[in-house]
Amino acid sequence: MSMIEIEQVSKWYGQFAVLTDCTTHVNKGEVVVVCGPSGSGKSTLIRCVNGLEPIQQGTILVNGMTLTDPKTNLSKLRSHVGMVFQNFELFPHLSVFDNLTIGQIKVLGRSKDEAAARGLKMLERVGLKAQAEKYPGALSGGQQQRVAIARALAMDPICMLFDEPTSALDPEMVTEVLDVMVELATEGMTMMCVTHEMGFARKVADRVIFMDHGRIVEDAAKDDFFGTPRSERAQLFLSKILHH
């Protein structure tokens, strides 16, 4: 069963086509990695999946609900879709604890106790229980991103979207974030990840999507993608990021 269905999606900024006729899907429990050169539209595509960017053509379905239908309650849909951003986007005026509980209380309507229990459990899961009372500014980048993942997980999402979660991190902090993501993937979470971390893709991805100039150039099972990418551009891209 498809968790995310993207059908013939196109998007323009004025005359400039950011996405052209993109079609793909993510099945339940599947981990799909989206890669490609910068400016290829991969971040835009994943931001479209929970409606942060409007699209001009095509349809996107998440868990059977049509995102592009004006009747769909977008906020409600988003509350079930976890999203992790390149720049963490923790709320700097709230403590880590409040970051983890605010969505649960204000959006899901959970009680304070319930939200606290769930939030702390997720924080423990990413190994940061001791930091609950701190403010995001007091944490390292890697810690902030782990809190951001915990914040998304605390909402009990049906799937997770990652938009270059390790790109803004110092190299030594990349692993701690990837470890959390690998663990999530092996537990069966449905994930769509925009990332350049090919080691992560090799380890846990089911499929790899390669984008260039706003088009999905390659959409293949992991082994096929890393074994014999069909398109020249994907071969070039892989040779550039794998051999250095």
Partner 1 sequence: MYEFDWTSIPGALPILGSGMLMTLRLTLVAMVVGILWGTLLALARLSGNRMLGWLAAGYVNLFRAVPLVMVILWFYLIVPTLLKDWAGLGAGTDIRMASALVAFALFESAYYSEIIRAGVRSVPRGQVNAAQALGMAYTQTMRLVVLPQAFRNMLPLLLTQAIILFQDTSLVYVIGLADFFGAAYKVGDRDGRLVELLLFSGAVYFVLCFGASLLVRRLQKRIAV
**Is residue 87 a contact point for partner 1 (CB under 8 A)?**
yes
Q: How far is the CB of 16 from partner 1 (least distance, A)?
A: 19
Residue span binding partner 1 (CB under 8 A) among the ranges 8-16, 98-106, 111-119, 235-243: 98-106
Nearest to 4 by CA among 53, 54, 45, 52: 45
* Alpha-helix residue ranges (DSSP H) falling in 16-69: 42-49
Q: Of 239, 242, 238, which is closest to residue 36 (Cα–Cα)? A: 238
Q: Is 78 in the site for partner 1 (CB under 8 A)?
A: yes
How far is it, in rounded angstroms, from Cα 143 to Cα 151? 12
Stretch that binds partner 1, among 36-44, 79-87, 217-225, 227-235 (CB under 8 A): 79-87
Q: Single out the residue of 65, 102, 117, 182 in contact with partner 1 (rule: CB under 8 A).
A: 102
79 binds partner 1 (CB under 8 A): yes
> Distance (Å, rounded) from C-alpha 213 to C-alpha 206?
24
Q: Whole-number minimum distance, CB 77 to partner 1, in Å?
A: 8
Contact criterion met (CB below 8 Å) for 11 and 17: yes
Q: Tell me the three-class secondary structure of 143-187, residue by residue.
A: HHHHHHHHHHHHCCCCEEEEECCCCCCCHHHHHHHHHHHHHHHHC
Find the binding residues for partner 1 in span 40-59 (CB under 8 A).
Answer: 47, 50-52
User: Which residues, numbered 131-170, are part of the site for partner 1 (CB under 8 A)?
Assistant: 151-152, 155
- Residue 35 vs 83, nearer CB to partner 1: 83
Residue with tokens 């720049």: 87
Smaller CB separation from partner 1, 50 or 195 = 50
Residue 123 Cβ, how far from partner 1 at the closest point, in Å? 16
Q: Which of 19, 22, 81, 159 touches partner 1 (CB under 8 A)?
A: 81
Tokens of 34: 């989206």
The stretches of the chain forming alpha helices (DSSP H) are: 42-49, 74-79, 96-106, 112-125, 141-154, 171-186, 198-204, 222-227, 232-242
Residue number with CB closer to partner 1 (41 or 82): 82
Of the candidates 194, 190, 103, the residue with the CA atom closest to the CA atom of residue 150? 103
Number of residues that bind partner 1 (CB under 8 A): 28
- Nearer residue to partner 1 within complex by CB, 158 or 238: 158
Closer by beta carbon to partner 1, 135 or else 226: 135
What is the rounded distance in angstroms from the CA atom of residue 164 to the CA atom of residue 47?
11
Contact positions toward partner 1, by CB under 8 A? 47, 50-52, 75-83, 85, 87, 89-93, 102-103, 106-108, 151-152, 155
